[in-house]
Amino acid sequence: MVIVYESKTGFTKKYAEMLADKTKLKLYHIKDISKISAEEEVVFLGWIKVGKIQGLNKLHKYNLKAVCGSGTAPCSKDNREAVIKRNNIKDIPFFYLRGGCLPVKDLKGIDKILMVIFLKILKSRKEKDEETEEVIAGLENGFNGVEEKNLEPILKWLNI
Ligand SMILES: Cc1cc2nc3c(=O)[nH]c(=O)nc-3n(C[C@H](O)[C@H](O)[C@H](O)COP(=O)(O)O)c2cc1C
């Protein structure tokens, strides 16, 4: 079994490295996917962009055994189920990993535009609960939700 990951700003990479360290499994960036044989079992970690796990579409021809998605949304049952549905994950386990984000001012290109729109939508809500306020502050100032303990469910699944 090997670990493959896709990461834009480094939070998912950090999880992939921690997982490789704990499991001693070989780690590949998605750009090196062609080095892996079609039979090799793969655990994939990708960052979530507007609900879609980035890089997952490159795994079709591979022996995918589990998927992890890293996003800034809080870890809730509803959020997990929405990601599973949106990414059409069937018959294999999905693990949600709380990632992190750079301050919106440090994002670039389309990612920045999308995030500015998302922030505007959140800020325009008349009634903002504590969680929404927290998400707004996190996106504006950046935050790092990467914690080793978040890998526990996948380590348990891997029997480690
Ligand atoms: C344009 C954009 C869209 C995003 N969409 C989502 C999303 O739909 N759900 C979510 O939980 N996080 C979303 N995020 C947050 C990223 O998934 C999160 O920051 C992730 O941990 C980044 O991983 P990376 O550092 O490996 O690239 C989005 C971030 C950007 C920039």
Residues 69 and 110 in one domain: no
Residue closest to 98 by CA, chosen among 21, 160, 151: 151
Residues 112 and 135 in one domain: yes
Which protein residues are within 6 Å of ligand 1, measured from CB?
Answer: 7-13, 47-51, 70-73, 99-101, 107, 111, 114-115
Residues 73 and 35 in one domain: yes
What are the distances in angstroms from CA 127 to CA 24, 73, 120, 131, 136? 47, 18, 14, 11, 13
Residues 14 and 31 in one domain: yes
Residues 34 and 63 in one domain: yes
Nearest atom in ligand 1 to 8's CA: 27
Burial category of 53 from C-beta neighbours within 10 Å (exposed 0-12, middle 13-18, buried 19 and up): buried
Residues 17 and 58 in one domain: yes
CATH number of the domain enclosing 71 = 3.40.50.360
- What letter would DSSP give residue 126? S
Distance 4 CA to ligand 1 centre (A): 18
Residues 107 and 87 in one domain: no
Helix (H, G, I), strand (E, B) or coil at 90: coil
Residues 95 and 21 in one domain: yes
Question: For residue range 59-106, what is the model confidence (pLDDT) as tens digits?
Answer: 999 999 999 999 998 888 999 999 999 999 999 999 999 999 999 999
Both tokens assigned to 150:
């978040």
Residues 117 and 131 in one domain: yes
- Residue 41 confidence (pLDDT): 98
User: How many domains are there within the chain?
Assistant: 2
Distance 15 CA to ligand 1 centre (A): 14
Distance 12 CA to ligand 1 centre (A): 10
Residues 86 and 134 in one domain: no
Residues 59 and 74 in one domain: yes
Q: What's the domain range around 58? A: 2-101+144-157
| Number of C-beta neighbours around residue 141 at 10 A | 12
Residues 65 and 110 in one domain: no
- Residue 87 confidence (pLDDT): 98
**Which stretches of the chain drop beneath a pLDDT of 70?**
none
Write phi, then psi, for 45 (nearest 5 degrees): -125, 125
Residue closest to 69 by CA, chosen among 140, 16, 137, 143: 16
* Ligand 1 atom 8: residue of nearest CA: 50
- Give strand ranges (E) for 50-160: 52-53, 63-71, 94-98, 100-101, 143-144
